[in-house]
């Protein structure tokens, strides 16, 4: 993954739904892949995970409330660019609009 021109590594860790110390098997049915950041939530912040009937993990915060999935950001969301562009057509903005006109000449302040 590229982030701002730098390489960022993502690490996925296997988490036992039923902890191995409590008899949980190390099998795909008892494991869920979590990034390091979210794995910490389970082990250090008291979050829990259950597997539903469709084998999908469900996450719960320490007080037992379910953590709902955040929706994915919209793809190509309408941002109104056509309205903005149309409203500013009379400005005649070009690639030269912000070019500085200073020629490095000393200004005459003596009047």
Q: What pLDDT was estimated at residue 2?
A: 47
Q: For residue 42, count other CB atoms closer than 10 A to its CB.
A: 19
CA 31/CA 14 separation, integer angstroms: 6
Q: What pLDDT was estimated at residue 1?
A: 45
pLDDT digits (tens, 9 = 90+) for 59-82: 999 999 999 887 777 777 777 888
pLDDT digits (tens, 9 = 90+) for 16-71: 999 888 998 999 888 999 988 889 999 999 999 998 899 888 999 999 999 988 77
Looking at the whole model, is its pTM more than 0.85? no
Beta pairing, strands 12-16 & 66-67: unpaired
Residues 60, 35: contact at Cβ < 8 Å? no
């Amino acid at each position: 993954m590229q982030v701002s021109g730098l390489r960022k590594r993502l690490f996925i860790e296997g988490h036992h739904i039923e902890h191995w110390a409590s008899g949980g098997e190390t099998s795909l049915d008892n494991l869920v892949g979590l990034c390091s950041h979210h794995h910490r939530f389970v082990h250090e912040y008291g979050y829990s995970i259950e597997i539903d009937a469709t084998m999908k993990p469900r996450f719960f915060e320490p007080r037992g409330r379910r953590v709902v999935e955040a929706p994915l950001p919209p793809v190509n969301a309408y941002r109104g660019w056509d309205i903005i562009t149309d409203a500013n057509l009379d400005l005649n903005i070009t690639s030269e609009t912000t070019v500085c006109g200073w020629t490095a000449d000393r200004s005459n302040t003596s009047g």
